[in-house]
Amino acid sequence: MLSKESIDTLVENYISSVEFPAAPEKLYAPIKYSLRGGGKRLRPAIVAMAYNIFADDVQRVLPCAAAVEMFHTFTLLHDDIMDNADVRRGMPTVHRKWDHNTALLSGDAMMICSYGLLEKMPATLLPAILHEFNRLAIEVCEGQQYDMDFEAQEDVTLDEYMEMIRLKTAALFAGAARIGALAGGASDADADALYRFGQQLGFAYQLQDDYLDIYGTEQMLGKKIGGDVAENKKTFLLISALREAGDATRRAMMATLRDTSHSLDQRIGRIRTIYDSLDIPEVTLAAIGSHLDKAGAAIESLSVAAVTDKTAPLKNLLAALRNRNK
Amino acid sequence: MLSKESIDTLVENYISSVEFPAAPEKLYAPIKYSLRGGGKRLRPAIVAMAYNIFADDVQRVLPCAAAVEMFHTFTLLHDDIMDNADVRRGMPTVHRKWDHNTALLSGDAMMICSYGLLEKMPATLLPAILHEFNRLAIEVCEGQQYDMDFEAQEDVTLDEYMEMIRLKTAALFAGAARIGALAGGASDADADALYRFGQQLGFAYQLQDDYLDIYGTEQMLGKKIGGDVAENKKTFLLISALREAGDATRRAMMATLRDTSHSLDQRIGRIRTIYDSLDIPEVTLAAIGSHLDKAGAAIESLSVAAVTDKTAPLKNLLAALRNRNK
């Protein structure tokens, strides 16, 4: 069994070692820029950790892990176009550093390269892995579409919102965990448990993102806070606040969201004051804790739960996420 | 052995039968709109015809054939964004009918759906098919990048241009033919011969596109002619003309290409006059004929070349392409 730290290192080294052709330069330079521009590498680590519960030779699953990370990075690249974002991980987004068409096409190529990595997996595993990969990939697109739909929709319910983030965010974590499990030879029951683990972790992760967009700092996040306010995104905090607020507060909140005559910082300040008055930070942190607990329970439901050194890396990952501030 | 017409019908029916979820509506409606909006279905027909040379149950290869067509349709959708095109196959392009972000995201989803179709192929064939599919997919992106690079590059040689269209256009035809061959159980030599067939057909097809952009009509093509002039695209005709022209004619041509003070129709008229004076139509049609001849020779190099009913559909396809005017 490898420690969380050893797995993180293996994953990072493998991703750094993935090679791309030199030409055409404008196609591949943005891919290298995006993929090597950091990131927490959470999703590929989950692939490798899930695998390592059932099999020792973690090297064998690294192409899958890198494929998941590369697909995730591709989605960020295209999302940044759609959201018109300027900064990602403290650096200019691809469509700002290059141009719009370059970002579009190199994103397409990055997605294809992620499928290319799957070729390195053993032939016997390929059908199951391709199926799971396709599923997470299309679900991420569905979630992104609902996210954009919700920008123009006033009355998004919490259930609708949770379904949206199940697709947009949790499906990738869940699929990553199941791909690792399947590649390692897990039983269906264990693969399903790991899927639930990834899904609950993904819910928590997205709620943390929502929280940090208002209560984080630019320094911590490597991008401006308040992006969700600027883009009129529905978030867990906003939907919870609209539900809790009385009529007057709800009207004040909607007015602030629509009010582009004030600076974003001023509007974020007002929104934060309203959220504070409604205990939204506490509600959100409790929801995050609940999803992380469920992710922990999924680990405990594994057939190998009693072999504590097998599940330690995933538990350490959960523990680290409890204090996420970036 | 099925006739070309029977294969065309099978392919069209299979593509029409591919189902997509109803929601999110803005993600899947553009995919259905694009995929069911017609098109010559040449590429999937080539998959099925190549397969049918070596195996009888053509139904089995139809998912692959549809995957190739869906990938091609995805590339058109994203290319239309990059080229800012208004019309495709006589209908508004997706980014015009919906909006830019919808076209971007539904294009991504369409690419994933094309990989989803590959899952329906037998597990034993999947590694080879996925490899070939990934290869043609990334080559199409590389070609599109060179095509865009060339818009800003004055001195593109004919060799550079042919390498660009090898990637952008011929790789998809070539890959389609090899995927069909591999799925049908062809020998490596036969699969390579069919790859060459598809590649040469692809060269001819792109030169015909270049030709029709100046010498076709909007009615025939379902889109405005002169798009290459408007987008400053390098074409076989333009590069050949610049090579043949004397200094004065070359200057006149460059001035016309840069001259946005006149209407596109006026500029196309001038370009056409210059091409005519340099015998560019004849040069282009001869090059097209030469590539089609090479495609025919590749068919004749197949181990089954003597079994004429096996190769008849591909030969009929070539014959039909000799007179392509749309």
Return the pLDDT at B116: 98
Taking CA–CA distances from B105, the nearest residue in chain A reads: A141
Q: What is the pLDDT of residues B168-216, one digit of tens each?
A: 999 999 999 999 999 999 999 999 999 999 999 999 999 999 999 999 9
Separation between Cα atoms, residue B209 and residue B229, nearest integer Å: 13
Please measure the distance between the N-terminal and C-terminal CA atoms of chain B and give it in whole angstroms.
28
Name the DSSP class of B87: E
**Neighbouring-strand partners of residue B88:** B91
Taking CA–CA distances from A110, the nearest residue in chain B reads: B138
Residue B2 in this model has a pLDDT that exceeds 80: yes
Return the pLDDT at B222: 77
Return the pLDDT at A230: 87
pTM (2 d.p.): 0.97
For residue B104, give the nearest of A27, A82, A130 by CB distance. A82
Return the pLDDT at B23: 97
Number of helices and strands (H, E) in chain B? 17, 2
What number is the average pLDDT over the span B270-293? 97
For residue B108, give the nearest of A111, A131, A148 by CB distance. A111
Q: Which residues of B touch A21 (CB under 8 A)?
A: 142
Return the pLDDT at A285: 97
Q: What is the interface pTM, i.e. ipTM, of the complex? A: 0.97
Residue A223 in this model has a pLDDT that exceeds 80: no
Return the pLDDT at B223: 77
For B18, the 3-state DSSP assignment is: coil
pLDDT band of A300, cuts 50, 70, 90: very high
Q: What is the pLDDT of residues B84-120, one digit of tens each?
A: 999 898 899 999 999 999 999 999 999 999 999 999 9
Please measure the distance between the N-terminal and C-terminal CA atoms of chain A and give it in whole angstroms.
28
Q: Percent of chain B having pLDDT more than 70?
A: 100
Q: Which residues of B touch A138 (CB under 8 A)?
A: 109, 112-113, 116
Picking from A18, A173, A135, the residue whose alpha carbon sits closest to that of residue B21 is A135
- With a CB cutoff of 8 Å and minimum separation 6, the contacts of A249 are A274, A277, A278
Q: Which residues of A touch B148 (CB under 8 A)?
A: 26, 101, 105
Query: Cβ of A134 and B119 within 8 Å?
Result: yes
Return the pLDDT at B220: 81
| HSE (side-chain half, CA atoms, 13 Å) at B91 | 15
Return the pLDDT at B92: 96
Query: Cβ of A130 and B118 within 8 Å?
Result: yes
Q: Which residues of A touch B134 (CB under 8 A)?
A: 112, 115-116, 119
Taking CA–CA distances from A150, the nearest residue in chain B reads: B24
Return the pLDDT at A244: 94
> What average pLDDT is seen over chain A?
95
Residue B37 in this model has a pLDDT that exceeds 90: no
For residue A138, give the nearest of B116, B124, B126 by CB distance. B116
Return the pLDDT at B225: 87
Query: Cβ of A104 and B82 within 8 Å?
Result: yes
Return the pLDDT at A256: 92
Return the pLDDT at A19: 96
Q: What is the pLDDT of residues A186-197, one digit of tens each?
A: 999 999 999 999
Return the pLDDT at A38: 81
Tell me phi and psi for residue B136, to 5 degrees: -65, -35
Q: What is the pLDDT of residues A49-69, one digit of tens each?
A: 999 999 999 999 999 999 999
Residue B267 in this model has a pLDDT that exceeds 80: yes
Return the pLDDT at A12: 97
Query: Cβ of A115 and B109 within 8 Å?
Result: no
Query: Cβ of B145 and A113 within 8 Å?
Result: no
pLDDT band of A284, cuts 50, 70, 90: very high
Q: Which residues of A touch B127 (CB under 8 A)?
A: 119, 123, 126
pLDDT band of A145, cuts 50, 70, 90: very high
Least-confidence region, from A159-168, A203-212, A248-257, B70-79: A248-257
* Cis preceding linkage at B30, omega within 30: no
B11, B324 contact by CB (below 8 A): no
Query: Cβ of B119 and A130 within 8 Å?
Result: yes
Q: Which residues of B touch A232 (CB under 8 A)?
A: none
Torsion of CA A18, A20, A25, A27, to 10 degrees: -90
- With a CB cutoff of 8 Å and minimum separation 6, the contacts of B80 are B88, B93, B94, B95, B103
Picking from B317, B298, B316, the residue whose alpha carbon sits closest to that of residue B189 is B298
Residue A274 in this model has a pLDDT that exceeds 80: yes
pLDDT band of B323, cuts 50, 70, 90: confident
**Neighbouring-strand partners of residue B87:** B92
pLDDT band of B1, cuts 50, 70, 90: confident
Count CB atoms within 10 A of the CB of residue A264. Answer: 14
Q: Which residues of B touch A126 (CB under 8 A)?
A: 123, 126-127, 130
Query: Cβ of B105 and A24 within 8 Å?
Result: no
Picking from B217, B220, B226, B207, the residue whose alpha carbon sits closest to that of residue B281 is B207
For residue A26, give the nearest of B101, B134, B145 by CB distance. B145
Residue A22 in this model has a pLDDT that exceeds 90: yes
For residue A105, give the nearest of B26, B111, B141 by CB distance. B141
Q: Name residue, tokens 């390195």.
A: A120
Q: Which residues of A touch B124 (CB under 8 A)?
A: 123
> What average pLDDT is seen over chain B?
95
What number is the average pLDDT over the span B135-155? 96
- With a CB cutoff of 8 Å and minimum separation 6, the contacts of B106 are A145, B26, B27, B28, B29, B30, B31, B77, B94, B98
Q: Which residues of B touch A111 (CB under 8 A)?
A: 108, 111-112
Residue B325 in this model has a pLDDT that exceeds 90: no
A175, A68 contact by CB (below 8 A): yes
pLDDT band of A106, cuts 50, 70, 90: very high
What number is the average pLDDT over the span B147-152? 94
**Neighbouring-strand partners of residue A87:** A92
Taking CA–CA distances from B26, the nearest residue in chain A reads: A145
Taking CA–CA distances from A129, the nearest residue in chain B reads: B119
